[in-house]
Amino acid sequence: MRVMLVDDSKTMRNIQKNILTTLGIEEMEEACDGQDALSKVVAFKPDLLLVDWNMPNMDGLTFVREIRKSGNRTPVIMVTTEAEKERVVEAIRAGVNNYVVKPFTPDALSDRINETMAKAA
Amino acid sequence: MDAGDIMPFIASAKTVFQTMLATDITPGRPSACPLVPSFANDVSGIIGLSGDVVGMVVLSFPGSTAEKVVETFAGAAMPIDSPDFSDAVGELVNMISGAAKAKLEGRTVSISCPSVVVGHGHKVQQPSDSLCMYIPFDSPMGRFGIEVALKESAAQSKPASEAA
């Protein structure tokens, strides 16, 4: 399975990479914002996207809207500090498949990944 | 705004440290700013708040505490003046602020991208027209503090007759 991590924080990307490694996922690509992710997503062809919301240059929600407009249906899990119900609804409407609120435990992220991929199968 | 609006920041700091660092932290008694802290700030993560509430959150550490906190959070020791160190501190204040703002009842608040200041004995000046509270914390890694300055935004403060 190929996973792209989109987060402006290298620390957070490393934490997520470690969790993905424990799940046996080895093929990963990183992007530091939505713009960077847009430039990499077509070539990398991820099976799953983990996307932060608040990022410079292009935020996560705008990135999700852009890829959905292009017809990309790759499952997206938003991994973000935005915890308000209205924000979750906004994300789902934009095309996000699942949601993890920071801070998160490794188990919480793992469960969301498994849940998302099971639904996508 | 009142002192009760600071409580979400205490709760979210405890949650962030427990969840991401597996560490229990103990808040001390909050007090009004300006305050001369009992330790010199060497590292501060700063986030701005905007929307129905405007303000600033500053997470400050002495150097020794910051190094231990970052090593635990990031999983590796790193130089205090490195971009990766600042990134880790920024992400901590990001999570603390993000979790807290969701608990500011009935108010829509956005947070900025974090900034990090590294320098011995620095002071981050809070706006003078905001409610500002300082919360000291104890932890196995050492002491640190969070300063929260908040005020209702101008639009929120207007009486209904003016706002219409």
CATH numbers and ranges of domains, chain B = 3-152 (3.40.1550.10)
Is there a contact between B8 and A81 (Cβ–Cβ < 8 Å)?
no
pLDDT digits (tens, 9 = 90+) for A38-59: 999 999 999 999 999 999 999 9
Nearest CA in chain B to A79: B95
Q: What ipTM did this prediction achieve?
A: 0.88
Nearest CA in chain B to A103: B16
pTM over the 0.80 mark: yes
The beta-carbon neighbor of B73 closest among A11, A81, A83 is A11
Give the end-to-end CA distance of chain A in Å, rounded to a whole number.
12
A56–B contact, CB cutoff 8 A: yes
Chain B residues whose CB is inside 8 A of the A15 CB are 20, 74-75
For residues A120 and A114, what is the distance between their CA atoms, to the nearest angstrom? 10
Instruction: Answer whether residue B15 shows pLDDT above 60.
Output: yes
Residue A63, domain extent: 2-120
Give the end-to-end CA distance of chain B in Å, rounded to a whole number.
22
Yes or no, beta carbons of B15 and A103 under 8 Å apart: yes
* Mean pLDDT, rounded, for B91-109: 91
More confident residue, B73 or B121: B73
- Could you say which DSSP state residue B3 is in? G
